[in-house]
């Protein structure tokens, strides 16, 4: 099937807007063919995940675009890079690696992107609005934009995100279209104590469970007795987009496209109904921890990047000082770090012996020294990816557990909330 | 002659290799080391297997949008699968192949196959993929001891 192209699309393919735009358009059109999209549609914003330094090929891709005159044509934010641009020397990042990661940062800035360097662009002034067609990369950002904000983006992979930003065009397919946004599988919450539902650590666990069972279907969660905060929804989405292919979820009575269960399924019956009870949640929680024992080298928070509200909550929990054998790290954006500094929220963290890394995270930057073998986190995404990407063991715990463990120098977890 | 499966080429190309089959989706970011071609997602059934040069048969990609970037590195490093067969249109794999073609004139074919055909494939079988998406499975010399 031929994709219906406008005159401008065809001109771009022919090189009217330069060699980089022509290449980007060729890739967009070939992807439209893969998806049998009938046409392309305009986007009004992009978020680029291709910024993470993976290796020579991806750097080569970015620098060739720059050499060929690439410029983004819509407001475009940048995801984490491979490097805390100004603070990487405090960690174990090899200098030659840092040089290449920096070149990749520079390349994307040269294309006219905004140097936001964060995986939580939805918590900046660039957050998209309901119904806006956008092209976002970064799985946790995609799921938040679609589910919580009601903006519309397909799950853009690295490299296609920047092609969309350069052309301003995407295939009309997937989550851009009404018919693909309705719920497909129902997760019915039953017998889960309200006290647990109020706890931050409930949301990464629920997300992990939902993502794993939903696969690439759109999940609908019903039966929540509380209204989750923005940060709780962020944690849920990030975990669901790690364990599954979730690009959009609905929570009945919470997210904007699901005022009712019927609306969430657009009048259709759920393809499958799954019960979420305490035993299944305990199982999911257990899956987020690998290995056993009390050993601990690092506590790490902030995937997705810590928000100002999260810094505020952390500050209220910090007492005394971390154990000398456990490092304590928070990853966030440079903007939020700056606000936290100005608000005095970094003072208790530094008094505790904690550190802040901006622009990147432990998964995107080779920053952890080899002596870090076991880490603890309140992030479902860190817990999911750290064992494979970093070869470390991981313990999932609540924010309180993480702070207590850092002070004690060993893993301490409060099981009360999860007890049957 | 072996059994013939009719696939839909998302990114056409010719390839051959031993099948490496999984029923579980796979993320290449955190799931695949492009320096060695090994599957490193320790929670995945294929953990420890070498996917380089094999015909990877996987329902679809999972999770991170960085899968494409890792696959592009694998093409450059010569550690990518020889081909990838999926059960449906799959952005992440197809895009990596398309960009690799743009940049290096070298890529792996991505072909979608019917779920029933997908279920019939097992690791170890030698698969040949033709430009039109036809897949020939040579099932005669049965390799023992494969999962």
Domain ranges of chain B: 3-138
Task: Count CB atoms within 10 A of the CB of residue A124.
Answer: 15
Do the Cβ atoms of B102 and A23 come within 8 Å? yes
A298 beta partners: A327, A375
Which tokens belong to A25?
């358009």
pLDDT of residue B146: 46
Handedness of CA A287, B90, A145, A259 (dihedral sign): negative
Query: Domains of chain A: which residue ranges?
Result: 7-177, 182-286, 288-418
- Choose, from B27, B47, B64, B80, the residue flagged as catalytic: B64
pLDDT of residue B143: 52
Instruction: Please tell us whether the domain made up of B3-138 is placed in CATH 3.50.30.10.
Output: yes
The whole-angstrom separation of Cα A56 and Cα B73 is 7
Scan residues 219-248 of A and list those with Cβ closer than 8 Å to B.
Answer: 241-245
The whole-angstrom separation of Cα A262 and Cα A182 is 10
Q: For residue B65, what pLDDT band results from cuts at 50, 70 and 90?
A: confident
Cβ of residue A160 closer than 8 Å to a chain B Cβ: yes
Closest alpha carbon within chain A to B8: A34
Closest alpha carbon within chain A to B74: A57
pLDDT of residue A244: 87
Closest alpha carbon within chain B to A56: B73
pLDDT of residue A364: 94
Query: Is the complex ipTM more than 0.85?
Result: yes
CATH superfamily of A7-177: Aconitase, domain 3 (3.30.499.10)
Do the Cβ atoms of B69 and A159 come within 8 Å? yes
DSSP letters for chain B: --EEEE-EEEE---EEEEEEE-SS-B-STTTEETTTTEE--TTSTTTT-B-TTSEEE-S-B-S-TTHHHHHHHHHHHT-S-SEEEESS--HHHHHHHHHHHHHHS----EEE--HHHHHH--TT-EEEE-TTSEEEEE-SSPPTT--
Cβ of residue B98 closer than 8 Å to a chain A Cβ: yes
Check for a shared fold between A7-177 and A288-418: yes
Residue of A34, A70, A392 best to disrupt the B interface, most CBs of B under 10 A: A34
Q: Are strands A219-222 and A185-189 parallel, antiparallel or unpaired?
A: parallel
The whole-angstrom separation of Cα B102 and Cα A48 is 20
**Which residues of chain B are within 8 Å of residue A26 when distances are taken between CB atoms?**
102
Asked if the model's pLDDT at residue B142 lies above 70, the reply is no
Residues 6 or more apart whose CB falls under 8 angstroms from that of B120 comprise none
Cβ of residue B92 closer than 8 Å to a chain A Cβ: yes
Q: Which residue stretches of chain A have pLDDT < 50?
A: none
* Contact status, residue A79 vs residue A174, Cβ threshold 8 Å: no
Cβ of residue A55 closer than 8 Å to a chain B Cβ: yes
Residue of B45, B63, B96, B104 best to disrupt the A interface, most CBs of A under 10 A: B63
Do the Cβ atoms of A158 and B66 come within 8 Å? yes
More confident residue, B1 or A375: A375
pLDDT of residue B140: 67
**Which residues of chain A are within 8 Å of residue B99 when distances are taken between CB atoms?**
27, 61, 159
Is-catalytic flag, B64? Answer: yes
Cβ of residue B76 closer than 8 Å to a chain A Cβ: yes
Q: What does the mean pLDDT of chain A come to?
A: 96
CATH superfamily of A288-418: Aconitase, domain 3 (3.30.499.10)
Which of A34, A54, A161 shows the shortest C-beta gap to B73?
A: A54
The whole-angstrom separation of Cα A72 and Cα A51 is 14
pLDDT of residue A65: 98
User: ω into residue A304 within 30 of 0, thus cis?
Assistant: yes
Which of A61, A157, A363 shows the shortest C-beta gap to B91?
A: A157
The whole-angstrom separation of Cα A59 and Cα B72 is 11
Reference A91, options A368, A375, A374, A333; nearest CA is A368
**Which residues of chain B are within 8 Å of residue A287 when distances are taken between CB atoms?**
43
**Which residues of chain A are within 8 Å of residue B79 when distances are taken between CB atoms?**
none
* Contact status, residue A180 vs residue A186, Cβ threshold 8 Å: no
Q: What does the mean pLDDT of chain B come to?
A: 91
């Amino acid at each position: 099937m031929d994709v219906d192209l406008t005159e401008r699309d065809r001109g771009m393919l022919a090189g009217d807007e330069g060699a980089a735009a022509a290449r980007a358009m060729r890739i967009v059109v070939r992807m439209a063919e893969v998806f049998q999209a009938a046409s392309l549609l305009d986007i009004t914003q992009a978020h680029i995940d291709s910024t993470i330094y993976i290796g020579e090929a991806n750097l080569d891709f970015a620098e060739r675009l720059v050499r060929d005159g690439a410029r983004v044509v819509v407001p475009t934010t940048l995801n984490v890079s491979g490097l805390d641009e100004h603070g990487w020397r405090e960690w174990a990042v090899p200098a030659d690696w840092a040089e290449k990661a920096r070149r990749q940062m520079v390349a994307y800035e040269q294309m006219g992107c905004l140097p936001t360097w964060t995986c939580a662009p939805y918590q900046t002034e660039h957050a998209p609005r309901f119904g806006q067609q956008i092209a976002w990369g970064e799985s946790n950002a995609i799921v938040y934009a679609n589910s919580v904000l009601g903006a519309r983006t397909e799950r853009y992979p690295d490299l296609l995100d920047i092609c969309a930003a350069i052309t301003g065009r995407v295939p009309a397919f997937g989550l851009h279209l009404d018919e693909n946004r309705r719920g497909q599988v129902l997760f019915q919450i039953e017998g889960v104590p309200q006290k647990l539902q109020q706890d931050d650590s409930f949301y990464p666990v629920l997300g992990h469970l939902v993502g794993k069972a939903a696969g690439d279907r759109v999940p609908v969660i019903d039966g929540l007795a509380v209204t989750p905060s923005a940060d709780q929804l962020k944690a849920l989405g990030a975990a669901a987009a790690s364990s599954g292919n979730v690009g959009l979820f609905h929570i009945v009575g919470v997210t904007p496209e699901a005022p009712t269960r019927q609306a969430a399924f657009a009048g259709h019956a759920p393809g499958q109904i799954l019960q979420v009870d305490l035993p299944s949640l305990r199982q999911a929680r257990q899956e987020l921890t690998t290995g056993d024992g009390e050993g601990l080298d690092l506590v790490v928070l902030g995937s997705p990047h810590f928000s100002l509200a999260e810094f505020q909550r952390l500050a209220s929990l910090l007492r005394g000082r971390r154990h000398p054998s456990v490092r304590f790290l928070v990853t966030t954006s440079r903007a939020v770090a700056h606000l936290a500094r100005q608000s005095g929220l970094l003072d208790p963290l530094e008094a505790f012996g904690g550190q802040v890394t901006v622009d990147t995270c432990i998964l995107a930057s080779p920053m952890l020294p080899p002596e870090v073998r076991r880490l603890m986190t309140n992030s479902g995404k860190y817990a999911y990816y750290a064992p494979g990407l970093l070869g470390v063991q991981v313990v999932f715990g609540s924010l309180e557990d993480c702070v207590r463990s850092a002070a004690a120098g060993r893993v301490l977890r409060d099981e009360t909330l999860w007890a049957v | 002659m072996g059994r013939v499966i009719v696939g839909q080429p998302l990114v056409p190309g010719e390839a051959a290799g031993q099948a490496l089959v999984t029923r579980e989706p796979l993320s290449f970011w955190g799931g695949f080391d492009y320096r060695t071609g090994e599957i490193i997602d320790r929670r995945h059934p294929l953990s420890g297997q070498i996917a380089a040069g094999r015909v990877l048969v996987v329902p679809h990609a999972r999770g991170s949008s960085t899968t494409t970037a890792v696959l592009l590195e694998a093409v450059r490093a010569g550690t990518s699968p020889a081909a990838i067969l999926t059960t449906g249109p799959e952005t992440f794999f197809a895009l990596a192949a398309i960009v690799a073609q743009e940049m290096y004139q070298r890529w792996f074919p991505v072909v979608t196959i019917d779920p029933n055909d997908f279920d019939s494939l097992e690791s170890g079988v030698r698969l040949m993929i033709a430009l039109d998406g036809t897949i020939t499975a040579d099932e005669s010399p049965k390799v023992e001891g494969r999962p």
